[in-house]
Amino acid sequence: MSSCRAPIFRRRQSFSSSTEQAMELGMIGLGRMGANMAQRLVRGGHRVVGFDFSAESRARAAQNGIDPVASLAELVAALKAPRALWLMVPAGAPVDATIDNLLPLLAPGDTLIDGGNSMYKDTQRRAQRLAEHEIHYVDCGTSGGVWGLQEGYSLMIGGDEAVVARLAPIFATLAPAPDRGWGRVGPVGSGHYTKMVHNGIEYGMMQAYAEGFSILEHKQEFALDLAQIGEIWRHGSVVRSWLLDLTADALKKNPSLQGIAPWVADSGEGRWTLADAIELGVSTPVIAASLLERIRSRDKDSFSDKLLAAMRNQFGGHEMKKE
């Protein structure tokens, strides 16, 4: 008999590495992800100046060793040239708006790093615009979620090779370890492109786990303990993964998933991955199906399902359930 334990994660990074050069960074956006990243950098010996529109977020950041400021102008003024600023704001218009506000404040040689889930084509466009002002733009696909502060972040970096090399101490501290979990994957845009495909793969993996555990849950004859099975699979199985660790832990805490609505969001990367796959002529049926299942989960009053029932009744006289 086995009980489900909390997930076993990778070896935690030591923050006392003397081989890393202490740097300073401006963090724009002190939400859950940005604040945790800033805190990890501070623990690694770097100086972080943070800006967020929320006074509450700035106050929390101050408690964790981050120097908070109340405006972008104060942020830029608090950093020595050449400056490095990390954008951790929602993809799309907020990134462009932040760049618009920063541009008059920055100087040639400064670097902006976009660590959010921006569309790679937007990243290339922004880099071209900033290059006209001799400002470097680096895109960093960032994975790690709420566990990143403790375990480190997977960083997929796009940008000029020399610029990325200069910022290496920042990436090495944020990563699970200085020598792994991060790297420059190519020119500007490639970091966000790699993260886009990463998230497409994530969609497919999550869908496969969800469907498999659903089959087990429906086999009432065996009264299977899903948390126990998840725990068994975590060790030695070819389907073991960190995602399975998290799944097993979720099932341990809430075996029947009580109180969780069957509604799954998507933040865009799966759609972008699928669109690019179609453009490239690459078959991606698993990613496509997983994305469609997420969209389907939001249809509380499914017209298509009602019509399917009506069609079966029309041609075969099959019974239709009434609401």
Bridge partners, residue 154, by sequence? 143
Task: Report d(CA 226, CA 229) in Å as an integer.
Answer: 5
Q: What domains are there in the chain, each with its CATH number?
A: 24-188 (3.40.50.720), 197-307 (1.10.1040.10)
pTM of the shown model: 0.89
Q: Which of 20, 24, 74, 202 is catalytic?
A: 202
E-only strand ranges, 209-299: none
CA atoms within 13 A on the CB side of 22: 10
Distances (CA, A) of 106 to 24, 27, 113, 197, 274: 16, 15, 13, 32, 36
pLDDT, one tens digit per residue, over 6-53 is 444 444 444 434 335 899 999 999 999 999 999 999 999 999 999 999
Which carries the bigger pLDDT value, residue 105 or residue 323?
Answer: 105
Helix pair 55-63, 32-43: axis angle to 10 deg: 20
300 is annotated as an active-site residue: no
Bridge partners, residue 158, by sequence? 139, 186
Q: Does residue 258 register a pLDDT over 80?
A: yes
Which pairing describes strands 136-143 and 154-158: parallel, antiparallel, or unpaired? antiparallel
Residues ≥6 apart with Cβ < 8 Å to 96: 122, 126
pLDDT, one tens digit per residue, over 182-234 is 999 999 999 999 999 999 999 999 999 999 999 999 999 999 999 999 999 99
Q: Which of 151, 195, 231, 269 is catalytic?
A: 195
pLDDT, one tens digit per residue, over 51-101 is 999 999 999 999 999 999 999 999 999 999 999 999 999 999 999 999 999
What pLDDT is attached to residue 20? 58
